[in-house]
A = this chain, B = another copy of it.
Amino acid sequence: MKKRCIFILAFLIMTNLNVIAQQAIGGATSIVSPEVKADNTVTFRYLAPHAKEVKISGDWMPAQGWTPGSEAMTRDEKGLWTYTTIKLPSDLYSYYFLVEGLKTTDPNNVYLIRDVASVTNVFIVGGGKGDLYKVNKVPHGTVARRWYDSPGNNMTRRVTIYTPAGYESGKEKYPVLYLLHGMGGDEEAWIALGRTSQILDNLIAQGKAKPMIVVMTNGNVAQEAAPGESSLGMYKPTFELPHTMDGKFEETFTDVIKFVESNYRVKAEKSGRAIAGLSMGGFHSLHISSYYPNTFDYVGLFSAAIIANDKITSKVYENIDKTLETQMKNGYKLYWIGIGKTDFLFKNVSEYRDKLDKLGMKYIYRESEGGHTWTNWRVYLSEFVPLLFK
């Protein structure tokens, strides 16, 4: 064993010096953060001997107006700052530290997610809905990043595709859910922030959802792929991109469908197609499903950004009442609308519901607590998916 030990030691020194250095400073042998405990409290630890103030901001803390909530951490004699939450409801949470006011990720937690240009740490509290977001001992689907031709955009574009366990080895045809992100997002958003593959794996394993393919597109037609994944290189992601809500994505969505239906064993028919999206993706889903009014039997609008913009003219948005009426007459199986009570788009969605009511267009309405958050979108996905393809 001696040689092996020397090898490991040399290796540790070569590769993990910072960790060792950090440990040496505080005399701690190993810092665990976050520590999710059996009683659903969570302890965070951050070694910062020279810092005068360390706070933690987590998405479970009530925000104060526009300011996200934060709480002070407590310093011990060695400079280790700790904070323990109250018992948290089962969910996936994100957080970061504020060291003398500066946002810092937790160096002891390698699990990070990017939301537009902001990177935060994540953890899961189990024992409830959080279990749906965990990787469990169930059959796992495949997640592939692929590129497809979009002649309508004169581009090759990147797409994330989930195929359920058994797809590759089987022969049957599967239905498809097209799942669209919000403004500032891309083809990585639903798989990373939305925990789509975990939710699908778990719901399918529990017999609560039909096995289905999930196609996560990039809704920003100005870009080929997510930041860092195209020839634009590694640049700072921006929230607003051109041509995100001008009809171009909706109009060229047939390129995506064509790619999927000629490359996968799918039920290439209305009853085998669902489309749903969050925020801008909800807006896209609304318009794609009405512009192609006999294509989708299932539509999901999650906190949909239903914005009428008089300045933008696109055949996609023309005569929306008329196209909705056509969609209604053609028939569909599910039109699902979800919104949080404090969402800044609540009023827009209300007005849209009024429109649907006037048209006599049926929908299922789900009003949740909270606002315009991934916490809600994961819940909406978890509730929407079991209703599909039944």
**A residues adjacent to B (C-beta < 8 A):** 1, 3-4, 7-8, 10-19, 22, 25, 32, 47-52, 66-68, 96, 99-105, 107-112, 114-119, 122-124, 134-137, 139-140, 142-147, 156, 158, 165, 168-169, 183-184, 225, 227-231, 233-234, 236-237, 239-240, 245, 263, 279, 305, 307-309, 311, 344, 371-372
Contact = CB atoms under 8 A, between A and B. Distances in A.
A17 B67 contact: yes
Contact of A102 (B19, B48, B117, B124): B48
Q: How many copies does the complex hold?
A: 2
Nearest to A201: B147
Contacts of A115: 15
Nearest to A115: B15
Contact of A144 (B18, B110, B143): B143
Given A117-B16, A118-B18, A7 B111 contact: no
B32 A344 contact: no
B144 A8 contact: no
Given A112-B112, A146-B168, 15 more contacts: A4-B311, A7-B307, A16-B116, A17-B66, A49-B101, A50-B52, A99-B102, A103-B107, A109-B234, A110-B119, A111-B228, A135-B225, A135-B233, A140-B147, A142-B147
5 contacts: A13-B66, A22-B102, A110-B114, A124-B234, A142-B146
Contacts of A96: 18
A100 B66 contact: no
A144 B11 CA distance: 30
A260 to B, nearest CB: 12
A156 to B, nearest CB: 7
Contacts of A100: 48, 50-51
Nearest 9 CB-CB pairings of A with B: A144-B144, A50-B100, A137-B231, A140-B147, A142-B146, A111-B234, A10-B344, A143-B145, A18-B103
Nearest to A25: B101
Contacts of A311: 1, 4
Contacts of A234: 109, 111, 122-124
Contacts of A8: 183, 239-240
A107 B112 CA distance: 12
A4 B50 contact: no
A371 B14 contact: yes
A132 B107 CA distance: 30
A114 B279 CA distance: 31
A206 to B, nearest CB: 15
A49 B231 CA distance: 35
A15 B8 CA distance: 43
Contact of A4 (B47, B116, B309): B309
B307 A3 contact: yes
Nearest to A239: B12
A233 B22 contact: no
A230 B137 CA distance: 8
Contacts of A134: 231, 233
A14 to B, nearest CB: 6
A227 B135 contact: no
Given A11-B183, A263-B168, A104 B104 contact: yes
Contact of A305 (B7, B47, B49, B225): B7
Given A15-B115, A66-B13, A118-B18, A237 B140 contact: no
Contact of A135 (B68, B107, B184, B230): B230
Given A3-B307, A183-B8, A236-B32, A19 B143 contact: no
Contacts of A236: 32, 108-110
Contact of A227 (B7, B110, B184): B110
